[in-house]
Chains A and B, each alone.
Chain A
Amino acid sequence: MKILGISAFYHDSSAAILVDGQIVAAVQEERFTRKKHDDAFPSHSVQYCLKEAGLSIDELDAVVFYDKPFLKFERLLETYYAFAPKGLRSFIQAMPIWLNEKLFIKKRIKDELRDIEEFDAKKLNLLFPEHHLSHAASAFYPSPFEEAAIITIDGVGEWATASICKGKGHQIEVIKEMHFPHSVGLLYSAFTYFLGFRVNSGEYKLMGLAPYGNPNAEQTLHFIATIKKELIEIYEDGSIWIDQQYFDYATGLKMTHNSKWNNLFGIPKRNPDDDLLQVHCNLAFAIQKVTEEIVMKMAIHAKEITGAKHLCLSGGVALNCVANGKLLQEKIFDDIFIQPASGDAGGSLGAALAAHHLFFEQARKINLPDLMQGSYLGCQFYPNEISSFIKKQKAIAHFHENENELLEKIAEYIKNGKIIGWFQGRMEYGPRALGARSIIGDPSNEEMQKRMNLKIKYRESFRPFAPSVLEEDAHLYFNMEGKSPYMLLVSDITENIKEDLPNGYHDFDMREKLYYKRSSLPAITHVDFSARVQTVSKDTHPRYWKLLHALKAKTGVGMVINTSFNVRGEPIVCTPKDAYACFMNTEMDILVIEDYIFLKEEQPEWDNRKKWQQEFKLD
Chain B
Amino acid sequence: MDVIKDLFKFLMERKKFWLVPVIIVLLLLGLLLVLGGGSAASPFIYTLF
Chain A contact residues, CB within 8 Å of chain B: 10-11, 70-71, 74, 76-78, 81, 90, 93-101, 103-104, 106-107, 155-156, 186, 189, 193, 199-200, 249-250, 253-255, 344
Whole-angstrom CA separation of A90 from B41 in the bound complex: 12
Separation in Å of the B22 CB from the closest CB of chain A? 6
B45 engages A200 (CB within 8 Å): yes
B26: chain A residues within 8 A (beta carbon): 77, 95, 98-99
B33 engages A253 (CB within 8 Å): no
**A–B pairs, 7, beta carbons within 8 Å:** A11-B47, A70-B10, A71-B14, A90-B44, A93-B43, A99-B27, A249-B48
* CB contact under 8 A between A104 and B48, given known A90-B43, A99-B33, A253-B43: no
* CB contact under 8 A between A100 and B45, given known A106-B3, A107-B3: no
* CB contact under 8 A between A200 and B43, given known A74-B16, A104-B3: no
A106 engages B2 (CB within 8 Å): yes
A155 engages B33 (CB within 8 Å): no
Per-residue A-contact encoding for B13-45, CB less than 8 Å = 1, 0 else: 010100100110011011001100011111111
Whole-angstrom CA separation of A139 from B4 in the bound complex: 34
B2: chain A residues within 8 A (beta carbon): 106-107
A70 engages B19 (CB within 8 Å): no
Highest count of chain A CB atoms <10 Å: which of B14, B27, B44: B44
* CB contact under 8 A between A96 and B46, given known A70-B6, A74-B16, A106-B3: no
* CB contact under 8 A between A344 and B45, given known A99-B26, A99-B29: no
Separation in Å of the A226 CB from the closest CB of chain B? 24
B40: chain A residues within 8 A (beta carbon): 96-97, 100-101
A250: chain B residues within 8 A (beta carbon): 48
B38, closest chain A residue (CB): A96
B14 engages A156 (CB within 8 Å): no
A81: chain B residues within 8 A (beta carbon): 22
B6: chain A residues within 8 A (beta carbon): 70, 106
Separation in Å of the A177 CB from the closest CB of chain B? 15
Separation in Å of the B15 CB from the closest CB of chain A? 11
B19 engages A253 (CB within 8 Å): no
| Chain B interface, number of residues (Cβ within 8 angstroms) | 28
A10 engages B45 (CB within 8 Å): no
Separation in Å of the A84 CB from the closest CB of chain B? 11
Separation in Å of the A106 CB from the closest CB of chain B? 7
Separation in Å of the A368 CB from the closest CB of chain B? 34
B29: chain A residues within 8 A (beta carbon): 95, 99
Separation in Å of the B36 CB from the closest CB of chain A? 10
Separation in Å of the B30 CB from the closest CB of chain A? 3
B47 engages A156 (CB within 8 Å): yes
B42: chain A residues within 8 A (beta carbon): 97
A103 engages B43 (CB within 8 Å): no
B19: chain A residues within 8 A (beta carbon): 74, 77-78
Closest 7 CB pairs of A and B: A99-B30, A96-B40, A10-B47, A97-B40, A93-B43, A94-B49, A70-B10
A107: chain B residues within 8 A (beta carbon): 2-3
Separation in Å of the B32 CB from the closest CB of chain A? 9
B39: chain A residues within 8 A (beta carbon): 96, 100
Whole-angstrom CA separation of A156 from B6 in the bound complex: 23
Highest count of chain A CB atoms <10 Å: which of B22, B39, B43, B48: B48
Separation in Å of the B3 CB from the closest CB of chain A? 5
B43: chain A residues within 8 A (beta carbon): 90, 93-94, 97, 253
B44 engages A156 (CB within 8 Å): no
Separation in Å of the B45 CB from the closest CB of chain A? 5
Determine which of A71, A74, A96, A156 lies in contact with B48 in the assembled complex, contact meaning CB atoms within 8 Å.
A156
B14: chain A residues within 8 A (beta carbon): 71, 74
A97 engages B30 (CB within 8 Å): no
A189: chain B residues within 8 A (beta carbon): 46
B16 engages A100 (CB within 8 Å): no
Beyond A76-B49, A189-B46, A200-B45, 19 extra complex contacts between A and B, CB < 8 Å: A74-B16, A77-B23, A78-B19, A95-B26, A96-B33, A97-B40, A97-B49, A98-B49, A99-B33, A100-B33, A103-B7, A106-B2, A106-B3, A107-B3, A155-B46, A200-B47, A253-B43, A253-B44, A254-B45
Whole-angstrom CA separation of A70 from B12 in the bound complex: 12
